């Protein structure tokens, strides 16, 4: 499952799509859009320019003038740009045609991934926690916010509404390096840990 660094790599690879306009799109699985009727996408993204592409946590954010397209890759999702569609369309769940005739393609073998459409980015930000690369994410913030929780540390770190972007692999490595047992209660952690 991709975690924050892998998602950032995808965002970096998609930067060529900035300032491009989506002229059409094709869906092969109706569950691809988590919160909107696919027909409403005509108004929200078609013929709109991609202002920027960024990331918060594991979310890939396409900023349009009047809306935000937010992809979540989940376990097996792949999002990429190409000049022509791949010969095999077996796992392609949707693709978008851009004004330079390139394709923004989303593949997902397991159909766990997909996207949200929000008119206001705060609809996303209100559901997820701090990103580890935000300026306000400091050791002081971490000590204060972990210590006041009465949860097991691994469960808390996996909670995307607390810190977004971390997943099982990185959390296991962090806890191993810190010599903190995953089941330790946050409220029992010493400041040094």
Q: Phi/psi at 166 (nearest 5 deg)? A: -80, 145
- CATH number attached to the domain at 4-125: 3.20.190.10
Rounded Cα distance, 137 and 10, in Å: 23
**Biggest alpha carbon distance in the chain?**
57
Q: Residue 2 burial by CB count (10 A; 0-12/13-18/19+): exposed, middle or buried?
A: buried
Whole-model pTM over 0.85: yes
pLDDT tens string, the chain, 193 residues long: the values are 689 999 999 999 999 999 999 999 999 988 899 997 777 787 888 899 999 999 999 999 999 988 999 999 999 999 999 999 988 889 999 999 999 999 999 999 999 999 999 999 999 999 999 999 999 999 999 999 999 999 999 999 999 999 999 999 999 999 999 999 999 999 999 888 8
Q: Which residues pair with 20 in a beta bridge?
A: none
Query: What is the location of CATH 3.20.190.10 in the chain?
Result: 4-125
């Amino acid at each position: 499952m991709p975690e924050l660094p892998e998602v950032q790599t995808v965002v970096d690879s998609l930067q060529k799509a900035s300032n491009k306009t989506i002229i059409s799109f094709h869906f092969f699985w109706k569950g691809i859009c988590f919160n909107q009727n696919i027909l409403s996408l005509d108004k929200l993204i078609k013929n709109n320019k991609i202002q920027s592409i960024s990331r918060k946590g594991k979310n890939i954010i396409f900023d349009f003038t009047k809306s935000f397209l937010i992809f979540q890759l989940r376990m097996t999702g792949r999002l990429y740009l190409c000049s022509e569609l791949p010969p095999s369309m077996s796992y392609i769940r949707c693709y978008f045609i851009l004004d330079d005739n390139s394709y923004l393609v989303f593949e997902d073998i397991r159909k766990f991934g997909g996207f949200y459409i929000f008119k206001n980015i705060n609809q996303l930000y209100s559901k997820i926690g701090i990103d580890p690369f935000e300026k306000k994410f400091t050791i002081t913030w971490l000590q204060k916010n972990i210590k006041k929780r009465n949860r097991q540390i691994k469960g808390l770190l996996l909670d995307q509404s607390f810190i977004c972007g971390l997943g099982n692999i990185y959390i296991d490595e962090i806890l191993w390096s810190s010599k903190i047992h995953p089941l330790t209660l946050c409220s029992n952690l010493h400041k040094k840990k």
